[in-house]
Structure 1
Amino acid sequence: MITIEMIDELRARVDVTYEDAKEALENSQGDILEAIIYLERNNKINSKKQEYKEDHKEEQKEEQDGFTRAVCKVISWSKNVLRKGNSNHLVIVKNDNVILRLSLTVIVLVVVLAPYISLPLLLLALFTGHKIKFVGDDIEKTRANDTMDKASTTAENIKSEFVK
């Protein structure tokens, strides 16, 4: 005896009408696999739905590939930033003696995590005669050291004005 559940099960697997599903199950004595084979042999499976499912699977794969490419780009960019941050350093010098040398990665983390401590300490270093400079292949191509020299000069001018 063919039940509605059996017909629904067959229709869930292949796109056929209820009538075709019932006929296929009757001809295969209720065996779903045999019913699918029967439907294929008699070309009763709706190929449009199968094509849609295959196209949709391809779209999902393309979306996953796009997401994977985006993640790879972010990881590559992050590696590049970390490499540059670790190869360039902030150096604090007083009287030609290196007081502190930290990678830019560490400096950024300290400034982000503790700005109320780190920024006043950097200003204090400027006002106490320390020189702050950046060292590294990537950072020396920029005008960062010129800016730090101007900040040191400004701090010295403010300090001398305050003393007067």
Structure 2
Amino acid sequence: MNVTLEMIDTLRQRAKVSYEEAKEALEVCNGDMVAALVYLERNNKIRDNHCSDAGYNFANTIKGLVRKGQETKFLMTKGDKVVINVPMNALILTTVFATPVTIIGGAVGIFTNHKMKIVKPNGSDVDINSAFDKVSKAVSNVASDVVPVSGNDNKAE
């Protein structure tokens, strides 16, 4: 049976699903509206009237962010050896709940020439070492400026 736009619209209004979901359900059920509703219900596609679109969209956005955070990885390497390989969600939670540990770990990583990067789900990297290298150079410059000054002070005495 051919699925018509009117059938899709009716199913969309009753089940509060997208055009794609309504069309798929009707095609799978050969245009039978009741069977399509049962199909959508079994696949947990039907949104009840208590759930607003804003709440549904918010929940889907959060689910997407959590999924993306699990797929995106934070890597810390020293040479060819991977020292840390954790999902971004774990890094974010560690930063929130154990901020001193994260700060100390990052500082130790910078000063011991560890390389840090974020690997996206598609495999591309976000190299964060350039920012850390700038910080490391600034710290080294300050340290080298302090050492000669204190060394000169000792010679003058």
Q: Name the TM tier (shorter chain).
A: 0.5 to 0.7
TM-score of the pair, normalised by structure 1? 0.51
Match 2:59 to one of 72, 75, 79 = 75
Partner of 2:118: 134
Distance 2:76 2:70 in 1: 17
Letter in 2 for 1:150: A
Identity of aligned residues (%): 17
Partner of 1:122: 106
Distance 1:139 1:69 in 2: 33
Letter in 1 for 2:77: V
Letter in 1 for 2:130: D
1:162: how far off? 2.5
Higher helix share: 1
TM-score of the pair, normalised by structure 2? 0.53
Partner of 1:162: 143
Is the CA contact (8 Å cut-off) linking 1:84 and 1:138 kept in structure 2?
no
Letter in 2 for 1:108: I
Over aligned residue pairs, what C-alpha RMSD do you find?
2.6
Match 1:91 to one of 75, 83, 94 = 75
Paired residue total: 98
Larger-Rg structure: 1
Show structure 1 runs of 5+ residues with no match: 1-63
Structure 1 runs, 4 residues or longer, greater than 6 Å off: none
Is the CA contact (8 Å cut-off) linking 1:87 and 1:136 kept in structure 2?
yes
